[in-house]
Copies of this chain bind each other. A is one copy, B any other.
């Protein structure tokens, strides 16, 4: 009986760790370093969805400095938050879903940068002999501009419908 419980607990903690790794890698691929990625993954999956500094550190087996730096960075970006409970000095970190939504929006908006870049090149090439290439570049810009404008509208429409997010 005791053994079985222990095994079960072990198995589920292990499973959680595996999931944290997996989701963590996805977050890495979105441009975060491993430790911040794992922190976000852990906070997303954890029950309860808030954890204090030492719980996070113990779960991820990372150093205090890494955890501290990562948490502060994530709070800076806006995807992590904390809550407190009175009579308790620790801060409980959690995912800030509003911040997450904002980050997703920003990511989409970044497409505009490529657009600007190609426009600059086309400006530079305006007297080029190679108008065929210029026309092709123009097409890329047209597509990219179309997408970008469409997306801004999508976001604006959403915001109209969902005022506070």
Contacts and interface: CB of A to CB of B under 8 A. Distances in A.
Interface string A92-123: 00110100110010011001011011101100
Interface residues of A, number: 49
A91 interface: no
Contacts of A165: 139, 143
Determine chain A's interface SS by DSSP, over half rule: helix
Copies in the assembly, this chain: 2
Interface of A: 19, 23, 26-27, 29-30, 41, 44-45, 47-49, 94-95, 97, 100-101, 104, 107-108, 111, 113-114, 116-118, 120-121, 124-125, 128-130, 133, 136-137, 139-140, 143-144, 146-147, 150-151, 154-155, 158, 162, 165
